[in-house]
Structure 1
């Protein structure tokens, strides 16, 4: 039993004392009118988001909902209040503690854009008195069994949850022994998880979520070890700021499945560069690359890839390095899907049709779609055209060295746990047919005779090698050569 003491002290660290928000605590008993049919779709989505990451048998059901809707750009913004009923849970293989049925009052904001939903805010807390009244009609089609794990939970990281003096060590053991985990590995991971929480200032909305995230973290560390063992390069995989997310959550929040539908708007092929590629090249040292940016919890990598390319093109042709606005593309690109994904080819066309890009200072990044606020008078950069580049990596290197950083799309396999080094996953694990993340090639070279591409990512400087990813060059690793493109500035 002493072996599990690190887990007890760990739980003691992450469990804080904070009351539920006042507006939720003081809700009291009230009768709600039957919900408008327009609210049911967004409410259904919000419930699915709430249940993401929860084991079968512990998922909440929707009891009642009310709210309002207003137009927001090309979509509708729903402000919802909903009561959720969490069922009792007594199966030690599914839940951590036997609990009685619990009622929560939640506030959600859901954006409906082109028929797709996105959660902008979630705020839930327990209530002592249920909301009474009509609730959800039986024919609304909302039931616990309806919800799968196909959408993302956006975790609340701001609110700790009440302490429970009756917490016991046995409540954690089923999580760690499921499927089963080596005991020494689990104990070691308790300390690692503690450091993760401190490093990334992570707290969770509920005690149940904390226990769930601990189990996700441990499974992820086992997965990172397997990725490490199969990697053919020099990369190291392990704890990152994404280590408490399931694979599905990570993919849904940060990646861009829309890329698989590419290439999008047709572009002409670029004229090849006649000069051979130098042995190595790095545009960062030559002043053509802005600082690493952070797309946040939004699948907007396509916008960052394109602005990075345009920043380089403008610098090489006009002599000024400007940090350009990704938010302009999220708001004003009518062909792409903002945080739900997009294609570089479409983004180039949008920039050309709009009349240019504003700077980051003039049109700052928010991480969700807003009403388009582009001003042609404030545009500092324009492009004349865009081109598709060769899939031959030697020709790509030659083009990059002469013409500037290149927008590319890759399969992000393993990137959730990437720390440093040159990544070279096995081809079956990182298929070029499943590209899902747009990034920027800024250089290439060799480390200890291992050839690499230097890739600027958009997950902030606290990921990877100060925000950069290094991928094996010359083998078509992860489809890096399948969707290469660039803007042209005359």
Structure 2
């Protein structure tokens, strides 16, 4: 085990299970009847998503299942409750974590649309987890194991005020009192986690309350990130010819008219599509002189190599654009945030691409290419981004491994603030996140994998 792993486990910064909503806890799985055959397919898909990335011998198996199904648009929406059985924990470091990994009770929402499954929600927690109406006990139950110091007496009052402000700022409402109480416990746990990330950050970033602060880590990853990027199984591209000119000290394509406004992917893991359209928008502007906002929905619907809201690869998306014959604009093919039947019209296509290329992993060469050729599609490790507010993020490398990339974004420039070099990154979570939708990441040493999957379309 690497020397830093025990520390990260104790700090609670290695992904783990989260408590389930109160309405699920304490449910007696033994009383459930045999599952309807219609539920087994979606339940097995949910299990596959839960086990993704787990080594053999650590994967859970499906226990009891119950649920319901209803029509949703062109598909069916499954709301499931299931027990999952995990193998015994043999690692004493992991076993010391507050959440025991034995029998879990999970709730899943799965959309079956046009024959493809899509996981919309996943909440899992131990069957025997207890929740009390006493707020102080609720807060105590979510504190990390490492915290040994007593809490200030006014901690509950302060956190209640912060949570209330969060609800007002982001217009949050919950269906039941039990859900509100559980979301409160998630919120407090997230604030503790954000403080740990803040303490370990080596840059100028500030972490805290964001619009994602009431989501568990698993929910956030499932809904907004792209686990397929780690598999590195997208279409292979040829290497781009290097740019011989040295990179200028700073560069920003926003000030040069090559970048559209920040967009919002919504509750859909479609970051790969936004990263690619941003790149093609820049390439078309630089080669044709017109900045057009292009359609991500076309890629969700018509790119059959990728998996729409479940994730995809920029390299596949370039290939799809080329094979389809181009991209329509946002106005002609507007974003819905879920997969529909392909409605692409070649007559309405406003842009095309000739090819796509993989860029150098050397950051100086990458900066030189960007300054000469335009904004670049990249994939990064999104560690800490759930709580990022502003500043230059520089997580410890073990926390932001370049080999664990899970989010596709658009590199639009680079520069320095207070002698700290940064990449300027256009994200796709709306302008009410980060610095008006932008993320600033330390430049150098392959920070968070920003240079591991850099690519661009080519327009002749």
Range class of TM-score, shorter chain: 0.7 to 0.9
The 1:200–1:8 alpha-carbon spacing in structure 2 relative to 1, beyond 3 Å, is farther
Asked whether the 8 Å contact 1:293–1:459 carries over to 2, the reply is yes
Q: Could you tell me how far 1:437 is from its partner in structure 2?
A: 0.3
Q: 2:189 aligns with which of 216, 219, 223?
A: 219
Q: Could you tell me how far 1:219 is from its partner in structure 2?
A: 1.1
Asked whether the 8 Å contact 2:9–2:94 carries over to 1, the reply is no
Deviates more, 1:34-43 or 1:105-114: 105-114
Q: Which residue number corresponds to residue 313 of structure 1?
A: 283
CA distances 1:422-461 after superposition (whole Å, capped 9, x unpaired): 0000101100010000000001000111100000000000
Asked whether the 8 Å contact 1:228–1:236 carries over to 2, the reply is yes
- TM-score, with length taken from structure 1: 0.71
Asked whether the 8 Å contact 1:97–1:171 carries over to 2, the reply is no
Q: Could you tell me how far 1:475 is from its partner in structure 2?
A: 2.1
Q: CA RMSD in A?
A: 8.8
The 1:95–1:288 alpha-carbon spacing in structure 2 relative to 1, beyond 3 Å, is same
Asked whether the 8 Å contact 1:7–1:190 carries over to 2, the reply is no
Asked whether the 8 Å contact 1:72–1:370 carries over to 2, the reply is no
Q: Which residue number corresponds to residue 7 of structure 1?
A: 7
Answer yes or no: is 1:253 the counterpart of 2:200: no
Q: Could you tell me how far 1:92 is from its partner in structure 2?
A: 27
Asked whether the 8 Å contact 1:88–1:98 carries over to 2, the reply is no
Q: Which residue number corresponds to residue 350 of structure 1?
A: 320
Q: Could you tell me how far 1:248 is from its partner in structure 2?
A: 1.1
Asked whether the 8 Å contact 1:176–1:215 carries over to 2, the reply is no
The 1:48–1:170 alpha-carbon spacing in structure 2 relative to 1, beyond 3 Å, is farther
The 1:324–1:22 alpha-carbon spacing in structure 2 relative to 1, beyond 3 Å, is same
Distance 2:458 2:20 in 1: 53
CA distances 1:124-152 after superposition (whole Å, capped 9, x unpaired): 9999999xxxxxxxxxxxxxxxxxxxxxx
The 1:66–1:488 alpha-carbon spacing in structure 2 relative to 1, beyond 3 Å, is same
CA distances 1:188-243 after superposition (whole Å, capped 9, x unpaired): 21111111000000011111111111111111111111111110100010100001
The 1:207–1:49 alpha-carbon spacing in structure 2 relative to 1, beyond 3 Å, is farther
Q: Could you tell me how far 1:246 is from its partner in structure 2?
A: 1.0
Structure 2 gaps of 5+ residues are none
Number of matched pairs:
458
Q: Could you tell me how far 1:247 is from its partner in structure 2?
A: 1.0
The 1:84–1:372 alpha-carbon spacing in structure 2 relative to 1, beyond 3 Å, is same
Q: 2:379 aligns with which of 409, 412, 431?
A: 409
Asked whether the 8 Å contact 1:74–1:371 carries over to 2, the reply is no
The 1:438–1:171 alpha-carbon spacing in structure 2 relative to 1, beyond 3 Å, is closer
- TM-score, with length taken from structure 2: 0.75
Asked whether the 8 Å contact 2:22–2:178 carries over to 1, the reply is no
The 1:127–1:382 alpha-carbon spacing in structure 2 relative to 1, beyond 3 Å, is same
Distance 1:346 1:86 in 2: 35
Q: Which residue number corresponds to residue 32 of structure 2?
A: 32
CA distances 1:25-84 after superposition (whole Å, capped 9, x unpaired): 999999999975224433787999999999999999999999999999998766999999
SS across alignment from 2:160: helix
CA distances 1:451-475 after superposition (whole Å, capped 9, x unpaired): 0000000000000000000000122
Q: Could you tell me how far 1:177 is from its partner in structure 2?
A: 11
CA distances 1:145-191 after superposition (whole Å, capped 9, x unpaired): xxxxxxxxxxxxxxxxxx99999999999999999755433332111
Q: Could you tell me how far 1:262 is from its partner in structure 2?
A: 1.2
Structure 1 gaps of 5+ residues are 131-162
Q: 2:358 aligns with which of 377, 385, 388?
A: 388
The 1:57–1:268 alpha-carbon spacing in structure 2 relative to 1, beyond 3 Å, is closer
